[in-house]
């Protein structure tokens, strides 16, 4: 059956912008970055389409909160789209917006749509350091600071309420599950990040365009201090960037009517989504993500189970454990190129918007490889929200939308009860060590299992050098070590070997 061209979604334009002002007062605010990116996407499409937008999705923006960002953008372009939305927080949300826009086109509810986002955290941080007031659109006076009440109070009291301190829990647990020593796991991470750096170095939209080798990435030093074991600075996402991106979508019918050549269009094949429990302490284990597995399996279904049919791929890369888990799930070799954009460390991590830049990079690749397929995999939260989107191919099948939440939930094992106030023997389920700004350990944080199977959390004070050294041994994983759980300071229990 031939599909109705008015219901076939295609990507027709992409736009990106990077701004590195020497003087913060000359920096582009996020609203301006998005405006530039949208105009560049329109120019890339080669047709005057912004005035005809009937759908606008704006990725959640953090660095300069506005009272109504979609309304401000609409005012700049003199438009009033039927659909207008502003996103929730999450690194997977650009893919969700792209997929939702494609679904509206497939339902006949939209003909021309845009998704955009932008951040100016680099300029905001520079201005704050210099005590400079930025001459930008006034902030939302009612903006509230971001909170994470959904995390257990025990985790928040231990300071494990930021991604940079939580993803190491997965890294260390996964390394042990894969049979690696910390030394071997760190070497794999460095080789992987070198692949990201290689791609970023040739991407003109990347923030850091200097190619780094695995040894430089893995070696801590003054410019690469340890952040949270086992990650140094060059293995974590870099949000101190000014970057914007936009993607224009249209129905095949509208694209043809606008005179856009077929070889410039990129089709959307489909995607899947699933989530983990928001509170990471309410998960059954830290060695894998059932939601990640479910959405990647859904992507495999679109290529008859053969991941090598994806000519290009973007694995979300806030921290190395994420693409390492994704590569293993897809059964791809270690030297697989995991990115088209360059990754959140080297391309830059404009907070929630990185995957929109990845989508732009994917479109560039697919335009040069007619008929090829590309896989975008993104996630948000604390290994929480997972999305895949497959681009490319042809138009002989309708858009695929797969909710894999039930499958992810079905795979989840029993969650250990979370307890406090116990003493006695306790075994490491996973852990990290948080470092100070001078590169020295501040404290260790351990997730522990008790003899009755219950789970708890404890601290290792910086004075306990022997236990910290055991947690950071390069030759022996600390997972499975048994020590003593003791009363501690400031209401936090302590653990020592």
Q: The CATH number of the domain where 448 resides is what?
A: 2.40.50.840
Residue 22 included in any domain: yes
Q: How confident is the model at residue 490 (pLDDT cuts 50, 70, 90)?
A: confident
Residue 314 sits in the same domain as residue 345: yes
Confidence band (pLDDT; 50, 70, 90) for 117? very high
Assigned token pair, 117: 């986002």
Q: What is the dihedral sign for C-alpha 420, 424, 430, 434? A: positive
Tell me what pLDDT residue 103 has. 98
Please report which residue ranges of 245-312 form alpha helices under DSSP H.
252-257, 290-301
Query: What's the predicted TM-score (pTM) here?
Result: 0.97
- Examine the fold and report which residue of 411, 435, 459 is the final residue of a domain before the chain moves on: 411
Higher-scoring residue by pLDDT: 145, 448: 448
**How high is the pLDDT of residue 143?**
86
Last residue of a domain, one of 381, 411, 441: 411
**pLDDT grade for 49, boundaries at 50, 70 and 90:** very high
Same domain for 335 and 398, yes or no, is yes
Range list of H helices, 19-86: 30-45, 69-77
- For 462, the 3-state DSSP assignment is coil
Is residue 336 scored above 60 in pLDDT? yes
Q: Measure the CA–CA gap between 119 and 127, rounded to whole angstroms.
A: 14
Answer whether residue 340 shows pLDDT above 80: yes
Residue whose C-alpha is closest to residue 134's, from 244, 243, 28, 32:
28
**Does 1 have pLDDT greater than 60?**
no
Helix (H) or strand (E) holding 361: helix 354-367
Pick from 367, 382, 411: which residue ends a domain? 411
Asked if the model's pLDDT at residue 45 lies above 70, the reply is yes
> 155 lies in a domain?
no
CA dihedral 352, 356, 357, 359 (to 10 degrees): 150
Average pLDDT over residues 322-338: 98
Residue 385 scores a pLDDT above 90: yes
Kindly state the greatest CA–CA separation across the chain. Answer: 73
247 and 98 fall within a common domain: yes
Are residues 473 and 345 part of one domain?
no
**b/e per residue 438-457 (b: at least 16 CB within 10 A):** eeebbbbbbbbbbeeeebbb
Give the pLDDT score at 167.
98
346 and 377 share one domain: yes
Residue 60 lies in a domain: yes
Per-residue pLDDT at 305 exceeds 70: yes
Same domain, 395 and 489: no
Number of domains the chain is built from: 2
CATH number, domain of 23, equals 3.40.47.10
- Cα–Cα distance measured from residue 143 to residue 69, given in angstroms and rounded to the nearest whole number: 12
What confidence score (pLDDT) does residue 149 get? 87
**Average pLDDT of span 444-470:** 97
Please determine, for residue 148, whether its predicted confidence score (pLDDT) is greater than 90.
no
| Inside any domain, residue 301 | yes
Is the Cβ–Cβ distance between 456 and 423 less than 8 Å? no
d(CA 321, CA 182): 13
Comparing 142-151, 262-271, 303-312, the range with the smallest average pLDDT is: 142-151
* 350 lies in the same domain as 477: no
- Residue 188 in domain: no
What average pLDDT does the structure give for the chain?
Answer: 96
The average pLDDT across 172-199 equals 98
In a domain, 195, yes or no: no
Instruction: Name the nearest CA neighbour of 180 among 335, 321, 331.
Output: 321
The verdict on residue 202 lying in a domain is no
> In 121-223, at which residue ranges do the beta strands (DSSP E only) sit?
none
* Position 250 pLDDT exceeds 80: yes
Say what percent of the chain tops pLDDT 90: 96
**457 with 407, same domain?**
no
The rounded percent of the chain whose pLDDT value lies above 70 is 100
Give yes or no for residue 380 having a pLDDT over 80: yes
Range of the domain at 385: 5-129+239-411
The whole-number pLDDT of residue 397 equals 85
Taking residues 146-151, what's their average pLDDT?
A: 85
Question: Has residue 137 got a pLDDT over 60?
Answer: yes
CA separation for the pair 340, 362 (Å, rounded): 6
Q: What is the pLDDT of residues 212-238, one digit of tens each?
A: 999 999 999 999 999 999 999 999 999
55 and 125 housed in the same domain: yes
Tell whether 386 and 428 lie within a shared domain. Answer: no
- Both 374 and 486 in one domain: the answer is no
248 and 329 inside one domain? yes
The mean per-residue pLDDT over the stretch 254-275 comes to 97
Instruction: Look at residue 325 and give its three-state secondary structure.
Output: helix
Pairing of strands 55-58, 373-380: unpaired
């Amino acid at each position: 059956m031939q599909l109705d061209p008015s219901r076939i979604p295609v990507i027709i334009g992409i736009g990106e912008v990077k701004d590195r002002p020497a003087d913060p007062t000359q920096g582009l605010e996020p609203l301006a970055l998005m405006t530039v990116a949208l105009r560049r996407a329109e120019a890339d499409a080669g047709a005057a389409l912004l005035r005809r937008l009937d759908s606008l999705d704006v990725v959640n923006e953090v660095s300069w909160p506005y009272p109504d960002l979609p309304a401000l953008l609409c005012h700049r372009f003199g438009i009033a789209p039927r659909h207008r939305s502003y996103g929730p927080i999450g690194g997977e949300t650009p893919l969700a917006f792209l997929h939702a826009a494609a679904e509206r086109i497939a339902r006949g509810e939209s003909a021309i749509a845009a998704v955009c986002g932008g951040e100016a955290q680099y300029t905001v941080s520079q201005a704050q350091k210099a005590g400079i007031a930025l001459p930008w659109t006034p902030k939302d006076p009612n903006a509230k600071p971001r909170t994470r009440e959904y995390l257990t109070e025990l985790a928040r009291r231990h300071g494990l309420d930021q991604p940079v301190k939580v993803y190491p829990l997965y890294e260390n647990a996964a390394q042990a599950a894969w049979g690696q020593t910390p030394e071997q796991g760190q070497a794999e991470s460095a080789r992987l990040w070198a692949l990201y750096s290689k791609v970023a170095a040739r991407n003109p939209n990347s923030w850091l365009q200097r190619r780094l080798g695995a040894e430089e990435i893995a070696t801590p030093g003054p410019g690469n201090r340890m952040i949270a074991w086992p990650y140094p600075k060059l293995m974590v996402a870099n949000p101190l960037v000014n970057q914007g991106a936009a993607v224009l979508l249209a129905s095949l019918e509208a694209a043809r009517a606008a005179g856009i050549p077929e070889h410039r269009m990129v089709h959307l094949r489909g995607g899947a989504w699933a989530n983990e429990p928001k509170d990471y302490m309410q998960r059954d284990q830290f060695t894998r993500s059932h939601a990640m597995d479910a959405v990647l399996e859904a992507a495999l279904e679109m290529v008859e189970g053969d991941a090598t049919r994806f000519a290009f791929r973007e694995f979300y890369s806030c921290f190395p454990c994420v693409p390492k888990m994704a590569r293993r799930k897809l059964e791809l070799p270690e030297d697989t190129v995991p990115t088209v954009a360059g990754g959140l460390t080297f391309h830059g991590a404009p907070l929630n918007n990185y995957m929109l830049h990845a989508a732009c990079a994917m479109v560039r690749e697919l335009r040069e490889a007619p008929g090829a397929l590309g896989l975008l995999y993104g996630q948000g939260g604390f290994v929480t929200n997972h999305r895949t989107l497959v681009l490319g191919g042809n138009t002989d099948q309708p858009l695929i939308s797969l909710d894999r939440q039930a499958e992810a939930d079905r795979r989840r094992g029993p969650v250990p009860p979370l307890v406090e106030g116990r003493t006695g023997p306790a075994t490491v389920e996973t852990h990290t060590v948080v470092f100070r700004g001078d590169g020295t350990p501040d404290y260790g944080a351990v997730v522990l299992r008790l003899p009755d199977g219950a789970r708890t959390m404890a601290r290792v004070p910086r004075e306990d050098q022997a236990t910290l050294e055991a947690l950071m041994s390069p030759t022996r994983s600390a997972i499975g070590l048994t020590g003593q759980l003791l009363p501690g300071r400031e209401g936090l229990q302590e653990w020592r070997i």
